[in-house]
């Protein structure tokens, strides 16, 4: 099949049949666009012409690029290429999968960075409780920390999703839904926003069911939510890097430090595998080592 047609077929598959998030689909699109451009420059016009040697040469060239790509970026690129070829072979479009021998690079284990409880409290208190946008920002931050939601999950919430008392319905990767507790502080912050701020914001724009709205009434974007978090970190004088995922990391780490079972945390985070959640247990073990080293008379 011609490369552009094979590319379009795969994107329809991951969008409609697999229901992947817009963020994931955009990553696949970027990776495969680069791959198809490389194939076209190499004189290949049909997916059936691609051999294992060609796939291997593409990955080798990308691996040795200057500057060198991060292991995670290279692993994602390989995953995109393999997913496309696997789809073409499974659908009978191509006879074989030329990417079958690819093995993703081993990414170094990186422990997620979490804020201390004191830093989280300063971050949550940073937005002004007297200004409408500050009330909205505090509701967003309280919700992120109380639920461990991904920032994309938070900005995609509808008002109806928070109308179930002390629980919240989140839509995660692959359109999977999960129910998480909201917590009294987050509930109060969201209620204050819904009562005092959102009606005025909604009146400025077109009708939208989204919970969090921007200053002009449009749904709050992921990028705008990132800026809210960055601004709050600056106001709270937190010098370490704070990203949209930082509150999610902090949520998981603080639960485990408080004695929560790792499988409960897995459910709350929406992880498909408990192995993904277990990385946070290493953070807690590191904390225990630090406390031991500074507290025990014969630790050193």
- The answer to whether 152 and 175 have CB atoms below 8 angstroms apart is no
Identified catalytic residue from 187, 249, 254, 271? 271
Phi first, then psi, for residue 42 (nearest 5°) are -90, 5
Q: How confident is the model at residue 295 (pLDDT cuts 50, 70, 90)?
A: low
Does the pLDDT at position 272 exceed 60?
A: yes
Active-site annotation holds for 150: yes
Encoded tokens for 24: 């994931």
Active-site annotation holds for 85:
no
Q: 163 Cβ partners below 8 Å, 6+ apart? A: none
* Residues 83, 14: Cα–Cα separation, whole Å: 10
pLDDT tens-digit map of 169-203: 888 776 678 888 888 999 999 999 999 999 999 99
pLDDT for 64: 83
Rounded mean pLDDT, 147-159: 92
**Out of 187, 248, 249, 254, which one is annotated catalytic?**
248
Q: Under CATH, what is the fold of the domain 3-90? A: DNA polymerase; domain 1 (1.10.150)
Is 248 a known active-site residue?
yes
26-35, 139-148, 198-207, 278-287: range with lowest mean pLDDT: 278-287
Is 300 an active-site residue? Answer: no
Contact 228, 243 (CB under 8 A): no
Residue 261 confidence (pLDDT) above 70? yes
- The single residue of 76, 138, 150, 187 carrying the catalytic annotation is 150
Instruction: Please give the average per-residue pLDDT across 24-37, as a whole number.
Output: 91
Q: Which of 173, 178, 222, 230 is catalytic?
A: 173
Taking the CA atoms of the chain, what radius of gyration do you get in angstroms? 23
Single out the residue of 156, 167, 143, 136 nearest to residue 247, CA to CA.
Answer: 143
CATH 1.10.443.10 in the chain is located at 117-293
Write down the catalytic residue from 13, 113, 169, 245: 245
Residue 281's alpha-carbon distances to 124, 254, 259, 275, in angstroms, are 25, 10, 11, 10
Which CATH entry fits the domain spanning 117-293: 3.20.20.80, 3.30.70.60, 1.10.645.10, 1.10.443.10?
1.10.443.10
Per-chain mean pLDDT for the chain: 86
Q: Tell me whether residue 61 is exposed, middle or buried, using C-beta atoms within 10 angstroms of its C-beta: 0 to 12, 13 to 18, 19 or more.
A: exposed
Q: Where in the chain is the domain with CATH 1.10.150.130?
A: 3-90
Q: For residue 143, which of 228, 257, 84 has the smallest C-alpha distance? A: 228
Q: How far is CA 58 from CA 34, 100, 207, 220, 267, in A?
A: 10, 14, 47, 39, 38
Residue 264 neighbours by CB distance under 10 Å:
12
């Amino acid at each position: 099949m011609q490369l552009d047609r094979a590319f379009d077929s795969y994107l329809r598959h991951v969008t409609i049949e697999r229901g992947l998030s817009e963020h994931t689909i955009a990553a696949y699109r970027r990776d495969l666009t680069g791959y198809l451009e490389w194939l076209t420059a190499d004189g290949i016009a049909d997916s059936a012409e691609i051999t294992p040697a060609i796939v291997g040469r593409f990955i080798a060239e990308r691996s040795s690029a200057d500057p060198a790509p991060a292991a995670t970026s290279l692993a994602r690129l390989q995953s995109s290429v393999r997913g496309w070829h696997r789809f073409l072979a499974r659908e009978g479009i191509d006879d074989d999968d030329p990417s079958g021998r690819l093995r993703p690079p081993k990414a170094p284990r990186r422990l997620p960075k979490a804020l201390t409880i004191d830093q989280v409290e300063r971050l949550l208190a940073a937005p002004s409780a007297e200004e409408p946008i500050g009330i909205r920002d505090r509701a967003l931050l309280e919700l992120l920390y109380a639920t461990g939601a991904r920032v994309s999950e938070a900005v995609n919430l509808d008002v109806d999703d928070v109308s179930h008392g002390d629980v919240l319905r989140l839509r995660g990767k692959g359109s999977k839904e999960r129910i998480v507790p909201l917590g009294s502080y987050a509930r109060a912050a969201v209620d204050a926003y819904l009562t005092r701020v959102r009606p005025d914001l909604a009146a400025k724009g077109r009708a939208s069911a989204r919970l969090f709205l921007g200053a002009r009434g449009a749904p709050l974007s992921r990028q705008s939510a990132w800026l809210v978090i960055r601004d709050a970190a600056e106001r709270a004088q937190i010098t370490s890097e704070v990203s949209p995922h930082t509150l999610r990391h902090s949520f998981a780490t603080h639960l485990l430090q408080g004695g929560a079972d790792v499988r409960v945390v897995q459910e709350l985070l929406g992880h498909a595998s408990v192995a993904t959640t277990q990385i946070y247990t290493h953070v807690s073990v590191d904390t225990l080592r630090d406390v031991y080293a500074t507290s025990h008379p014969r630790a050193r």
